[in-house]
Amino acid sequence: MDFELTEEQKLIKDTVRRFADEVIVPVARENDIKEHFPLEIIKKMASLGFLGAPIPEKYGGAGLDFISDAIIFEEIGRADSSIRTTLSVQVSIVGLTILNWGTEGQKEKYLPRLCRGEIIGCFALTEPGAGSDAANQSTTVVLTNKGWVLNGTKTWISNGGIADIAVVFAQTDKNKKHKGIAAFIIEKGMHGFSTKEIKGKLGLRASNTAELIFEDCMIPKDALLGKIGDGFEVAMSALDNGRYGVASGCVGIIQGCINVCVKYAKERHQFGKPIGSFQLIQEKIARMVVDCNASRLLVYRAGDLKNKGIKNTLETSIAKYFASEAAVRAAVDAIQIFGAYGYSNEYPVERYLRDAKVATIYEGTSEIQKLIIGHHTIGIKAFS
């Protein structure tokens, strides 16, 4: 693997960083306080090609490689993890899932509009009783002469309240367990489909999160994504892509912590000298730097495998686990460096901590990542 970024990747990094600093950073604090979902920023990102970075040009995307994709997630995550979450869902677990599993008609219908930001997508797998146990789907779907009839509730769905389309998972035959799960593309406005926004979150307050409720929701036969029984595999492949975006965004959080802490450590004086001269301050920043470099390299390793078309579940889980936990460590240390100022929203470090914590939970908890790593290493599943 070549560790040097290409000229194109350097240009992408500079472009995204400038956009993040000029457009996202100035309003991140206010959006967090007001729990405002900044659709206007998402539209601006679409015009720059961010919403279709790894999607082929024939479907309206930019056709970029996965290292470039990680660079975009990192720079947006450094500025505001709420927006990075929306981007990850739109690109990684909706766009790429339709690209990898959809019919040609589904790709042509949805991908260009997703890339242009004309529609927003969400990914509906989690249920009140099915979080880490994703195979235990209570949402059911029955095929009739008129189409599919869907019943159930999904929860903690990022983009759920504002999405125009949803990739939804449901059980066709409970006796078949995970082999009976199917995936569907469901459009907003279908009869029997409603949403309820979730407010009061610890972090990601500027992202949209909602419950999706299906009550005898009639959906057309051609809404099926893949084949009946493919649903669990569709979900797991989507999570491989989603975890990659989360890991990349966490690199951004760590880098953000480094940037503000270095600046503050030079400016803040105690005992007649800058606090950056204190050994324990340098120790905390040094750990951030090591964690940032290690996380970025783990992400790039997973991205390199993705570019080569090689299965990367293990490598992506390692990157997601390490980077998310490292982001929490970095944010905790950053608050300690800032002292009382770090405990207020005058500086971004308290938001970094609140936003970093959820990265150890969604797209598979840290505990689930450990079990994936353990299974790949030992060859024995912790549970069936």
Q: Where are the alpha helices (DSSP H) in 224-348?
A: 231-267, 279-308, 313-338
DSSP state of 140: E
Tokens at residue 130, please? Answer: 């099915």
* Residue 306, SS3 per DSSP: helix
- Tell me, yes or no, if 363 is annotated catalytic: yes
Q: Return d(Cα 43, Cα 345) in angstroms, integer.
A: 27
Q: Return d(Cα 352, Cα 63) in angstroms, integer.
A: 31
Beta carbons of 253 and 81 less than 8 angstroms apart: yes
b/e for 206-230, b at 16 or more Cβ within 10 A?
bbbbbbbbbeebebeeebbbbebeb
For the chain, count helices (H), then strands (E). 12, 10
Q: Return d(Cα 138, Cα 223) in angstroms, integer.
A: 19
- Among 75, 211, 325, 363, the one annotated catalytic: 363
**Residue 180, Ramachandran bin (φ over 0: left; ψ between -120 and 50: alpha; else beta):** alpha
Residue pointed to by tokens 């195979």? 135
Which residue from 226, 166, 158 is spatially nearest to 194, judged by alpha carbons? 166
State CA 303 to chain mean position distance.
15
Q: Return d(Cα 47, Cα 367) in angstroms, integer.
A: 38
What residues act catalytically? 363
